[in-house]
């Protein structure tokens, strides 16, 4: 009882001496924390619900999302074109509070956000346990180009991954932050067609230390999975360098219904056309 009272007094004193507002909702912060985000905002960030592709994690709308031999539902694209990675998982949808929390880290240099995002990444990665074998797993963050790394001062994917696996007890996990390198900067993927996105990132990544992943499974980690183009290109070069399998885990994922102006009927029609094509 005494400890609780002292804690309450300390928090009230902190709020008086160091007034601050939540960077997400603007409410006054009353708790001592290095992260300027209130507890209700953090509690409002939820994991992605069921109803997503078992391979790439995209939201499924179509009644034609067939199951494979293992009974898992897959989207039309993954049924038509086998991805270069085995499975991609994400903690939450890239919108609302989660999107703002990621932006706090990336664009406003609020590094304590990496701790919370790391816990989310670790939870997402747990969904891959049943897919993995007994081989060593190299944890590889998606790299930034050297120029962007100098401007930002850190690679957000590496910070999040370090936080996620800092206290892991699985001795098969080996953190390998320098395996991949980004050899050229790429333009924004916004507004590009699928083919243009592939061409935009082709050749942008290279494996700098192939000996660290040869014969290993790779867990590729990033902050956001948007179109999957970056993850696919990284998976391609990792497999070419000797990785046995590549899995992908991200904090957030852009889902179809999260994009502005998405017409669900149009989405269904696209799924049906993909299925008919093959």
pLDDT of amino acid 266:
46
What pLDDT is attached to residue 227? 86
Are the CB atoms for 135 and 215 separated by under 8 Å? yes
223-270, pLDDT tens digit by residue? 999 889 999 999 999 999 999 999 999 999 999 865 444 444 444 444
The number of distinct structural domains making up the chain is: 2
- Kind plus residue range of the DSSP H or E element containing 221: strand 217-225
Identify whether 55 is part of a domain: no
Sheet-wide strand order for 87-93: 87-93, 245-253, 217-225, 137-141, 173-175
Q: What is the pLDDT of residue 67?
A: 54
DSSP state of 185: -
Same domain, 89 and 24: no
Cα separation, 116 vs 173, in Å, equals 20
Tell me which residue range forms the domain holding 136: 82-262
Q: Taking the model in full, what pTM does it have?
A: 0.82
Angle subtended at Cα 238 by Cα 143 and Cα 119, rounded to the nearest 5 degrees: 50
Residues 133 and 255 in one domain: yes
- pLDDT for residue 71: 57
Residue 237 is assigned to a structural domain of this protein: yes
Asked whether residue 38 falls in the same domain as residue 88, the answer is no
| Residues 179 and 249 occupy one common structural domain | yes
Spans in the chain with pLDDT lower than 70: 1-19, 62-71, 188-191, 257-278
- Taking the alpha carbons of 109, 173, 48, 227 in that order, is the dihedral positive or negative? positive
Same-domain pairing of 138 and 29: no
**Residues belonging to the chain:** 278
């Amino acid at each position: 009882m005494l400890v609780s009272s002292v804690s309450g007094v300390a928090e009230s004193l902190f709020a008086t001496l160091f007034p601050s507002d939540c960077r997400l909702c603007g409410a006054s912060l009353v708790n001592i924390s290095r992260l300027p985000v209130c507890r209700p905002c953090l509690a409002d960030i939820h994991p992605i619900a069921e109803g997503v592709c078992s391979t790439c994690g995209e939201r499924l709308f179509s009644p034609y999302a067939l199951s494979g031999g293992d009974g898992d539902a897959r989207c039309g694209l993954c049924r038509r074109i086998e991805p270069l990675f085995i499975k991609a998982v994400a903690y939450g949808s890239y919108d609302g509070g989660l999107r703002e929390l990621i932006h706090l880290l990336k664009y406003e240099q609020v590094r304590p956000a990496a701790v919370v995002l790391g816990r989310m990444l670790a939870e997402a990665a747990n969904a891959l346990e049943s897919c993995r074998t007994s081989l060593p797993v190299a944890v590889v963050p998606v790299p930034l180009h050297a120029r962007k790394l100098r401007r930002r001062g850190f690679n957000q994917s590496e910070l999040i991954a370090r936080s996620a696996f800092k206290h892991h007890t699985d001795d098969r996990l080996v953190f390998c932050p320098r395996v991949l390198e980004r050899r050229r900067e790429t333009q924004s993927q916004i507004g590009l067609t699928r083919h243009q996105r592939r061409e935009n990132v082709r050749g942008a990544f290279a494996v700098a230390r192939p000996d660290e992943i040869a014969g290993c499974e790779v867990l590729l980690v990033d902050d956001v999975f948007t179109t999957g183009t970056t993850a696919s290109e990284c998976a391609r070069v990792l497999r070419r360098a000797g990785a046995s399998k590549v899995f992908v885990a991200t904090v957030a994922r852009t889902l179809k219904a999260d994009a502005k102006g998405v017409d669900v009927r149009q989405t269904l029609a696209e799924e049906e056309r993909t299925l008919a094509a093959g």
